[in-house]
Each structure stands twice: as structure tokens, then as C-alpha cells.
């Protein structure tokens, strides 16, 4: 069972990640926000692609669900951390982190 502290520790170990308040949550970002942690540390919102969201929600339906609004249609996905193992949490964080990297300019 993963916790908010596990999320914080793993996220901050990913290169370039900083933590900062974001409304009523804590946000973890590199060039962009890739995950936010609820104040109670029980849930987190991950920025996946829509395909990744669909896969995560299918494979770990007890843990992942789309955010119920336009953000969810863009891939933002809520996770119940108590339903994730540490390996699943690390995988989700790395996936979201990869999308948040600064894009290289086109040549």
C-alpha cells in the first residue's frame, strides 16, 4: 500500500522535480506539473495520455479512474494510493514525469 509520503519521496527523486503548492494540493513538476497530491495524502492526480489513462484504469481499476471533467478527457487520472503497490506508484510517476519534460524545439 503506497502513501503520500511514498509519492513525495519517489517524485522528488526524479531528475528536476520540484514541489510547490497548487490550489489545495501539492504539485510536482519539471517543465510542467505531472502529478498533484491531495492535502490528506490519500489520492493523487497523474497527467497521462488518454491511451495511458485507459490502460491504467483497465489494469488497476481499483486504483485509477479518470478525473470526472474535461481534465479527465485530456488524460488526468486520479489514483487511490492505498490501492497501489510501491512499484505501481513508481511506474505511474515515471510515466507522468516523462511527459512533463521540456520539449525540444523543432529544427
Torsion angles phi and psi, residue 80, rounded to 5: -85, 105
For residue 102, name the pLDDT band (cuts at 50, 70, 90).
confident
Domains of the chain by range and CATH? 4-99 (3.90.1150.30)
Q: Dump pLDDT digits (tens) for 25-67.
A: 999 999 999 999 999 999 999 999 999 999 999 999 999 999 9
- Cβ burial of 95 (10 Å; 0-12, 13-18, 19+) is middle
**What pTM does this model have?**
0.93
For residue 107, name the pLDDT band (cuts at 50, 70, 90).
low
Amino acid at each position: 500500500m503506497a502513501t503520500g509520503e511514498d509519492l513525495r519521496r519517489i517524485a522528488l527523486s526524479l531528475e528536476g522535480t520540484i514541489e510547490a503548492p497548487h490550489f489545495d494540493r501539492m504539485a510536482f513538476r519539471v517543465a510542467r506539473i505531472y502529478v498533484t497530491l491531495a492535502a490528506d495524502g490519500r489520492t493523487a492526480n497523474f497527467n497521462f495520455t488518454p491511451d495511458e489513462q485507459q490502460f491504467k484504469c483497465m489494469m488497476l481499476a481499483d486504483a485509477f479512474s479518470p478525473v470526472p471533467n474535461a481534465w479527465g478527457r485530456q488524460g488526468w487520472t486520479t489514483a487511490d494510493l492505498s490501492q497501489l503497490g510501491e512499484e505501481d506508484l513508481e511506474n505511474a510517476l515515471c510515466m507522468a514525469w516523462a511527459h512533463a519534460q521540456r520539449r525540444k524545439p523543432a529544427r
